[in-house]
Amino acid sequence: MAEAATTLLTTSDGRPLKAALATAQARAKRRAFLLVLPLLLFVLLTFLIPIGYMLKRSLEHDGFSGSAPSLSAWFKQQPGFDPANPPEEAYAALVSDLALMQKDKTTGMAGTRINYTVPGTISLFKAGARAAKDLQPPYKEALLALDPEWGMPRLWRAMEAASSPYTTEFYQVATDRKLGDTGWARGADQDRIYLYLFFKTFLVSGAITVICLLLAFPVAHLLAVLPMSKSSLLMILVLLPFWTSLLVRTTAWIALLQEQGIVNDLLVWAGILSDDNRLQAMYNMTGTIVAMTHVLLPFMILPLYSVMRVIPPSYARASRSLGATSWTTFRRIYVPQTLPGIAAGSLLVFILAVGYYITPALVGGADGQLISNLISFHMTKSNWSLAAALAAMLLAAILVLYWLYDRLIGIDRLKLG
Amino acid sequence: MAQNGPGDAYVEFQHVQKSYDGVSLVVKDLNLSIGKGEFLTMLGPSGSGKTTCLMMLAGFETATNGEILLDKRPINQVPPHKRGIGMVFQNYALFPHMTVGENLSFPLEVRGMGKDEREAKVKRALDMVQMGNFINRRPAQLSGGQQQRIALARALVFDPALVLMDEPLGALDKQLREHMQFEIKHLHESLGITVVYVTHDQGEALTMSDRVAVFNDGRIQQLAPPADLYERPENSFVAQFIGENNKLPGTIEELNGDKALVRLATGELIDATAVNVKEKGQKTLVSIRPERVEFKPSMMPEGAHTLDAEVIEVIYMGDILRAVLRVAGSDDFVMKMRNTLGQTKLSAGEKIKVGWHPLDARALDPM
């Protein structure tokens, strides 16, 4: 035995045991790999590549650098130039680029890119490009005569930053920073929308998670303790929303809660509300919270149910027999054992709520919008890079939460069903 | 039995009935008193009502009718947590999210006991089951036998006078089960507690109990100390449920006090002790334990009736030899012989005569 442990083991025909084992398992491993390959490709194509592309888009935009080669080259040679007073060569490069843009019809692209950081410059570029081929040196005076805005230091800062396709500008904008004449700085309070909306999104998602938990706990418990025939009937009611179109469900909430809706009509009819004092429960934050809670409730019920179903009733009995009241039993014996379900359901509902789009868009009105509505807004406005930067921040925030969850509760304790 | 008197009954079931569906009775008119310090086992097949009785005593089921008294006070309206009864569950029911120490501390905490006192009691209870080193383990880290000990310690840690055990050893392997039987018995004796124990394992019931209540069909069929139960079963159900038994159907030919002469279906006559037969001509089932059957003429009592038998097979079982015989028309008559040095070796096909002491043949109801 001692000898076998020190010398290398071989098979009966003299091959090393490790090599023999590897050969014997290679075929099985290859087969297993081929089996998961389609799924792997699917995940890669539909998930990893788009996310990678999105992250790239948030850091890259070649709208200006691609259409202004001379100015980009000049910026590269003059790293320490003074944006408050650019020299004649810079203006010359700019004018030649403007002429090129006019020829290649890329003015819009370049202007839009600068417009992201210095709003209102798109028309400046269009006018400049139209006039460029008629301008005579000295170009500095000529351009400034055309429009004094060409001398704005922040415009030159913006053009310098945009002369490289890679930039962190979109993250600066997404964190409510503004490009001023002296560089990036914290924006004015009334313009700070993104971080506030992030904060609001997380707060509302947290509130929805808590409401879902409070509503789902008794339902899941009932599902778990009822006899099979009754619990499957109840289960259908829980799952019914899954089988109905999201749009239909949301519209149903509109029918119920709007100012002339069923709930208000009933309350007025019952004399609880006066006709000119109807509840404003739709097209605002209340509407968003009510409708989203309804949509996300099954995602809380199902993991809770799957955990509660396997908690044997003998634990509660043991606790009672040891002298604990029903309340103590619930608090100290039952709830701790449902924790994996609470954690799974909360994580699921919270993450879904943070990225929810359709319901706030339909019933949120002006103040019920969440961060994903803003991302969508920028996508429709073709500011893909800013949308990507916001989405990347959302992703990062969720990954941080996931990491926290793993540290505090442990991801292996997650029970989804 | 002294502790059987109504004066010092600690637990008393008075005409208790239980129905789950309002149509049939699971427990039919149960009357039982359990003395202080007694070890009483409820034994019976599944569905016989024994667990229901235990659950009613613990307070998890309510009696449909009748009264349960604990220490002479009716407890039907007392919730389970106020009864102060320790309980050991079939699958231990140790709280998985608490350590062993926390599990044991729990009943003391809910009683508002101070920290020092709790720690002392937990330590004492753990030492009692030799698990002192496991205080910081989680139940999932313990073997079945260790979990069983912890469950036992938890049921005892708050010093209950009455402890209920619901098939506590069912999940253990045979050897461990026998060891734990001994330990539970030992704890019962040293602590002086009253134990009500539910099991379907007759061996367990016989080794551990002061008295055994055999349940069937919602009724107690016999309530007796283990030896009486085995040697003097009062009806056919008990005779067959406890241990192995030979049954010979027949009719009472003569009845003289408790001496009966029975004519078997095949015409032979045998002596038997009348137990619950009342008159001549009545149908009966005579029960004889396999180890009380004799085949050597020298061992049989004077004048005992013998029967012709043919050996069908002999099974070697180590400590005993088990012979299956054809007797009075039945092919499953069993005789057990001790595997001693000079034991006669029977072989299949051999013709022998078998007999027994009339006291060992019990004429019972025909079921």
Structure tokens given for A137 = 């040196």
**What share of chain A has pLDDT > 70, as a percent?**
97
Q: What is the DSSP string of B84-126?
A: --EEE-TT----TTS-HHHHHHHHHHTTT--HHHHHHHHHHHH
Domain at B129, CATH number: 3.40.50.300
Nearest by CB to A323, from B95, B96, B107: name it: B107
DSSP 8-state class, residue B318: S
**What share of chain A has pLDDT > 90, as a percent?**
32
- pLDDT tens for A68-101 read 888 998 888 887 788 888 888 889 999 999 999 9
Residue B119 has pLDDT above 80, yes or no: yes
- Res. B142 pLDDT band, cuts 50 70 90: very high
- B192: contact with A, CB 8 A cutoff: no
Residue A201 has pLDDT above 90, yes or no: yes
Nearest by CB to A325, from B81, B107, B158: name it: B81
Same domain for B11 and B108, yes or no, is: yes
- A409: contact with B, CB 8 A cutoff: no
Same domain for B218 and B254, yes or no, is: no
pTM as predicted: 0.78
Query: What's the confidence (pLDDT) of residue A212?
Result: 97
> Is the Cβ pair A324, B81 closer than 8 Å?
yes
- pLDDT tens for A5-56 read 556 777 788 888 888 888 889 988 999 999 999 999 999 999 999 999 999 9
Measured in degrees and rounded to the nearest 5, phi and psi for residue B33 equal -120, 140
Task: Name the superfamily (CATH) of residues A194-413.
Answer: MetI-like (1.10.3720.10)
Nearest by CB to A333, from B59, B79, B95: name it: B95
Domain at B272, CATH number: 2.40.50.100
pLDDT averaged over chain B? 88
Same domain for B187 and B267, yes or no, is: no
Structure tokens given for A45 = 């194509």
Find the residue in A nearest to B96 (Cα).
Answer: A337
Sequence-ordered list of residues with C-beta below 8 angstroms from that of A89, at least 6 positions apart, any chain: A74
Same domain for B291 and B323, yes or no, is: yes
The CA distance from A345 to the nearest CA of chain B, in Å, is: 19
Domain map (residue ranges) of chain A: 15-59, 69-170, 194-413
- Res. B329 pLDDT band, cuts 50 70 90: confident
- pLDDT tens for A112-155 read 888 888 888 888 898 888 888 888 888 888 888 888 889 888 88
- Res. B214 pLDDT band, cuts 50 70 90: very high
Taking residues A64-68, what's their average pLDDT?
A: 88
Structure tokens given for A285 = 């934050």
> Is the Cβ pair A317, B80 closer than 8 Å?
yes
> Is the Cβ pair A322, B60 closer than 8 Å?
no
- B59: contact with A, CB 8 A cutoff: yes
Query: What's the confidence (pLDDT) of residue A3?
Result: 47
- B257: contact with A, CB 8 A cutoff: no
Same domain for B10 and B147, yes or no, is: yes
Query: What's the confidence (pLDDT) of residue A19?
Result: 85
Say if residues B219 and B52 touch (Cβ distance below 8 Å). no
Same domain for B272 and B320, yes or no, is: yes
**What share of chain B has pLDDT > 70, as a percent?**
98
Same domain for B289 and B252, yes or no, is: yes
Same domain for B169 and B31, yes or no, is: yes
Say if residues B137 and B100 touch (Cβ distance below 8 Å). yes
Residue B4 has pLDDT above 60, yes or no: no
- B81: contact with A, CB 8 A cutoff: yes
Q: Which of these, A416, A294, A304, lies nearest to A353 by C-alpha position?
A: A294
Same domain for B80 and B186, yes or no, is: yes
Taking residues B195-224, what's their average pLDDT?
A: 92
Question: Which residues in chain A touch residue B154, judged by CB atoms under 8 angstroms apart?
Answer: 322
Structure tokens given for A112 = 């839009």
**What share of chain B has pLDDT > 90, as a percent?**
47
Query: What's the confidence (pLDDT) of residue A204?
Result: 94
CA A343 to chain CA mean position, Å: 21
Highest mean pLDDT range out of A73-77, B191-195, B360-364? B191-195
Interface of A with B in 321-360 (CB under 8 A): 321-325, 328, 332-333, 336-337, 339
Same domain for B340 and B254, yes or no, is: yes
> Is the Cβ pair B95, A322 closer than 8 Å?
no
Same domain for B32 and B113, yes or no, is: yes
Secondary element (H or E) of residue A179:
strand A177-180
Question: Which residues in chain B touch residue A325, judged by CB atoms under 8 angstroms apart?
Answer: 81, 110
Find the residue in B nearest to A317 (Cα).
Answer: B60
Residue of B95, B103, B104 to mutate when probing chain A, most A C-beta within 10 A: B95
Overall domain count for chain B: 2
**B265 to each of B262, B329, B330, B353, how far by Cα in Å?**
10, 8, 10, 18
More confident residue, A124 or A242: A124
Structure tokens given for A23 = 């050969």
- pLDDT tens for A264-293 read 889 898 888 888 888 888 888 888 999 999
Say if residues B306 and B355 touch (Cβ distance below 8 Å). yes
Task: Write out the residue range of the structural domain in which residue B248 sits.
Answer: 244-364
Q: Which of these, B125, B89, B88, B87, lies nearest to B105 by C-alpha position?
A: B125
> Is the Cβ pair A328, B58 closer than 8 Å?
no
Torsion of Cα atoms, B208 then B214 then B215 then B216, to 10°: 140
Same domain for B154 and B24, yes or no, is: yes
Query: What's the confidence (pLDDT) of residue A276?
Result: 83
Query: Among the listed ranges A128-132, A189-193, A238-242, B24-28, which one has the minimum average pLDDT value?
Result: A189-193
- pLDDT tens for B26-45 read 999 899 999 999 999 999 99
Nearest by CB to A320, from B80, B91, B111: name it: B80
